[in-house]
Amino acid sequence: MKTFKPTHKLLAAIITLFILSFSTNTVAQEKIQMVRLAKIKVDPLQLDKYNNALKEQMTTAVRLEPGVLTYYAVADKTEPSHITILEIYADTTAYKLHIETTHFKKYKETVKDMVKCLELVDVTLIGSANKMDK
């Protein structure tokens, strides 16, 4: 019976394929989500109109854009016109695509006179827990 002895070229090819498959997985795993808080102060007299525009923009973005992963919007209990939005995107490219969409531009145009103050804070997600993660 003849024994199989791999050649140097074959070994080099196998090692190269192994390294390439490992590095491709590493790059995919290192793709970092973009997480942002938007802190917004809205004109209290226009709060209902603002909330409607925000809800429309959020639901449209999540429905149409694969890179828009999560939106949570909350209002301060004592100052309902102070709104904080948690936004999670697949990565910065998804965010850049998002702000160029028709629905986002419509939202910005609609609320431009309603928003009195906007602060964008980029944050790092350190963990999450969700009943739907079961």
pTM of the model: 0.74
Q: What percent of the chain has pLDDT over 90?
A: 69
Residue 78 has pLDDT above 60, yes or no: yes
State how beta strands 115-123 and 82-89 pair: unpaired
Instruction: Give the up-direction half-sphere exposure of residue 75: CA atoms within 13 A in the CB hemisphere.
Output: 14
pLDDT given for residue 131 in this prediction: 83
Q: Is residue 117 a contact partner of residue 44, using CB atoms and an 8 Å limit?
A: no
Could you tell me the pLDDT band of residue 103, with boundaries at 50, 70 and 90? very high
Q: Is the pLDDT of residue 114 over 60?
A: yes
Beta strands across the sheet bearing 68-75: 68-75, 82-89, 34-42, 115-123
Look at residue 18 and tell me whether its pLDDT is greater than 90. no
Residue range 42-58: mean pLDDT, rounded: 98
User: 48 by DSSP, 3-state: which?
Assistant: helix
Question: Given this model, what pLDDT does residue 25 score?
Answer: 43
In the predicted model, is pLDDT for residue 23 greater than 80? no
The separation between CA 18 and the C-alpha centre of its own chain, rounded to angstroms, equals 31
> Is a pLDDT exceeding 60 seen at residue 12?
no
**Quick check: 107 and 56 in contact, CB under 8 A?**
yes
For residue 121, what are the β-bridge partners?
37
State residue 2's pLDDT score.
Answer: 54
Flag whether pLDDT at 108 surpasses 50: yes
